[in-house]
């Protein structure tokens, strides 16, 4: 059987997957809808920069160049870094740019009845084992020609924060259709070039719906463009825990949460009885640490004054990868009145703007921007042509995308997904998952039965719901990232203990540098 591998997407996940495929002797084909690499970093706002310092966002074997002095490089510097990575490892010749994947279809394989009876993934647990071939329908974005490419294995690296914007639904007569101004999603705003985006908001009364990172960044850009003449209004339903910066705070959080000792405080998927009992006994300490950080943030920042105190714990946002960093000078803008914050559980449109709870007059607006996130599950679901695979990949609304090791679906053969589950450093998470995948493709990882994989997936989902609640769909592994990496290391027969000495192993934060030199072949 041939071993053709196709990668869909040339963002960070697609690039690192391509690099490891080449290193392991494969010759992949990468399909990318844009005319360059970088994924989301090609479609960001002018003010976007790394929230963490650059040491936490880099490839294991490709450090940032010495010419980048900033701790938090801007989006252009990140994009240049990703381009340098692709050029350094000669990835560009394997990428087909301006190639939009319409759908993928598993053709010529076993019947659905046969596949349901499988005991092991793909029939026997091996990556290149089934009769079927993936047919990848690709449209060239320039001339709109359509081609079908074939591959024995597909790696989806399409992310979940693009493509399918999440737009709230409204009763008849209360939605954007009654508004006299313009309505758009932050995705469309981010796709504009900087000059066009500035012209769009300049001189306008802008209202932003949302309260996560993109909403705050948007508000800061509007405030810079309009000042106090036309203040930008944020309508938020829920506040989240944000830092003034992540350079000093990241060190604190690292020692409090991102080491082996800290992970003793939380329940972990598949943990033995003793570790579960220990996590229960240490829960008061877990609660106390969270409260200390919350109180420090409330003391350092005027959160209460501006209605920015979350009604949930710091640990909740950490466990759902919702922690963020305030834009530069954000509280100065609140103080001078160039940004206004309104808290409301519901809102509706009228001719003049937006109506919110408790106010008789509308927020008069010329432009309303939804910063309300994306439907990442729908994006992954819709790339499959088969309704059966669509149902496999996206179950009930309360479920996560069911991936074993956050990489493969137990019942979809010859396919992997890299970059879906969130982590503290997504670039490193994609790299270690790509490394695991390539060991699997080379026959160095033995999968359990489908039944055991599904049991494992369920354990991880229940653990995410324990700490993430309604946000468990984000598949965030930040609170037990070391535990997760341990599983990957054991699978590829590498030592999961990456530090020297007892104290370092248990109390120093774990990061990507600890995994440099991880066995690759």
- Is the CA virtual torsion 58, 60, 66, 71 positive or negative? positive
Give the pLDDT of residue 51.
82
Q: Which tokens belong to 269? A: 């998927």
The pLDDT of 398-406, averaged and rounded, is: 85
The pLDDT of 270-281, averaged and rounded, is: 95
pTM of the model: 0.94
Chain centre to alpha carbon of residue 15: 16
Segment of 116-130, 145-159, 506-520 carrying the highest mean pLDDT: 145-159
The pLDDT of 416-421, averaged and rounded, is: 92
Give the pLDDT of residue 230.
94
The pLDDT of 175-192, averaged and rounded, is: 94
Q: Which residues contact 37 (CB under 8 A, 6 or more apart)?
A: 10, 11, 14, 15, 82, 83, 86, 91, 92, 95
Distances from the Cα of 391 to the Cα of 155, 166, 385, angstroms? 19, 20, 11
C-alpha to C-alpha distance for 460 and 463, rounded to whole angstroms: 5
Chain centre to alpha carbon of residue 340: 28
Confidence label for 376 from pLDDT (cuts 50, 70 and 90): confident
Give the pLDDT of residue 494.
94
pLDDT surpasses 60 at 372: yes
Distances from the Cα of 102 to the Cα of 33, 340, 384, 385, 407, angstroms? 10, 41, 9, 9, 22
φ/ψ of residue 141, rounded to 5: -75, -15
Instruction: List b or e across 377-394, with b for residues whose CB sees 16 or more CB atoms inside 10 angstroms.
Output: bebbbbbbebeebeebbb
Confidence label for 161 from pLDDT (cuts 50, 70 and 90): confident
pLDDT, the chain, mean: 92
The pLDDT of 442-465, averaged and rounded, is: 94
Confidence label for 358 from pLDDT (cuts 50, 70 and 90): confident
If residue 101 lies in a helix (H) or strand (E), which one and from where to where?
strand 99-107
C-alpha to C-alpha distance for 271 and 463, rounded to whole angstroms: 11
Confidence label for 249 from pLDDT (cuts 50, 70 and 90): confident
Give the pLDDT of residue 160.
83
Confidence label for 102 from pLDDT (cuts 50, 70 and 90): very high
Instruction: Say how many C-beta atoms besides its own lie within 10 A of residue 120's C-beta.
Output: 18
The pLDDT of 410-438, averaged and rounded, is: 92
pLDDT surpasses 60 at 261: yes
């Amino acid at each position: 059987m041939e071993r053709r591998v196709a990668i869909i997407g040339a963002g960070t996940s697609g690039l690192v997957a391509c690099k490891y495929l080449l290193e392991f002797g494969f010759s992949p084909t990468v399909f990318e809808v844009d005319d360059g690499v970088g994924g989301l970093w090609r479609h960001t706002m002018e003010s976007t920069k790394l929230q963490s310092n650059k040491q936490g966002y880099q490839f294991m074997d490709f450090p940032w160049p010495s010419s980048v002095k900033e701790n938090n490089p801007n989006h252009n510097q990140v994009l240049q870094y990703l381009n340098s990575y692709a050029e350094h490892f000669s990835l560009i010749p394997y990428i087909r740019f301006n190639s939009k994947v319409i759908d993928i279809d598993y053709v010529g394989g076993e019947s659905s009845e046969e596949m349901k009876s499988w005991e092991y993934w793909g029939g026997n647990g091996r990556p290149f084992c089934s009769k079927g071939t993936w047919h990848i329908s690709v449209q060239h974005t320039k001339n709109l020609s359509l081609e079908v490419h074939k591959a024995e294995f597909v790696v989806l690296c399409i992310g979940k924060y693009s493509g399918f914007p999440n737009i709230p639904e409204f009763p008849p007569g209360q939605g954007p259709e009654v508004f006299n101004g313009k309505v758009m999603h932050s995705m469309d705003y981010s796709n504009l070039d900087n000059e066009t985006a500035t012209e769009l908001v300049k001189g306008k009364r802008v209202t932003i719906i949302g309260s996560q990172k993109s909403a705050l960044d948007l508000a800061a850009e509007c405030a810079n463009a309009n000042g106090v003449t036309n203040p930008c209004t944020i309508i938020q339903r829920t506040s989240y825990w944000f830092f003034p910066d992540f350079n000093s705070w990241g060190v604190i959080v690292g020692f409090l949460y991102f080491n082996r000792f800290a992970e003793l405080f939380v329940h972990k998927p598949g943990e033995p009885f003793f570790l579960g009992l220990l996590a229960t006994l240490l829960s008061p300490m877990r609660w106390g640490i969270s409260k200390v950080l919350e109180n420090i943030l409330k003391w350092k920042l005027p959160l209460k004054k501006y209605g920015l105190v979350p009604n949930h714990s710091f640990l909740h946002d950490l466990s759902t990868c919702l922690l963020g960093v305030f834009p530069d000078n954000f509280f100065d803008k609140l103080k001078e009145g160039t940004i206004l914050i309104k808290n409301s559980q519901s809102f509706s449109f009228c001719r003049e703007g937006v109506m919110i709870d408790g106010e008789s007059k509308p927020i008069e607006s010329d432009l309303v921007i939804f910063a309300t996130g994306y439907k990442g599950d729908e994006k992954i679901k819709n790339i499959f042509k088969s309704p059966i695979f669509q149902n496999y990949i996206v179950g009930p609304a309360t479920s996560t995308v069911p991936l074993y090791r956050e990489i493969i679906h137990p019942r979809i053969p010859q396919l992997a997904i890299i970059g879906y589950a969130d982590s503290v450093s997504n670039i490193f998470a994609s790299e270690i998952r790509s490394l695991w995948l390539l060991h699997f493709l080379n026959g160095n990882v033995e999968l359990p039965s489908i039944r055991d994989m599904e049991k494992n997936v369920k354990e991880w989902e229940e653990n995410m719901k324990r700490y993430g609640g309604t946000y468990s769909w984000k598949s965030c592994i930040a609170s037990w990232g070391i535990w997760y990496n341990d599983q990957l290391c054991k699978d590829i027969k590498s030592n999961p203990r990456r530090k020297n000495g007892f104290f370092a192993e248990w109390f120093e934060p774990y990061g990507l540098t600890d995994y440099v030199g991880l066995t690759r072949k």
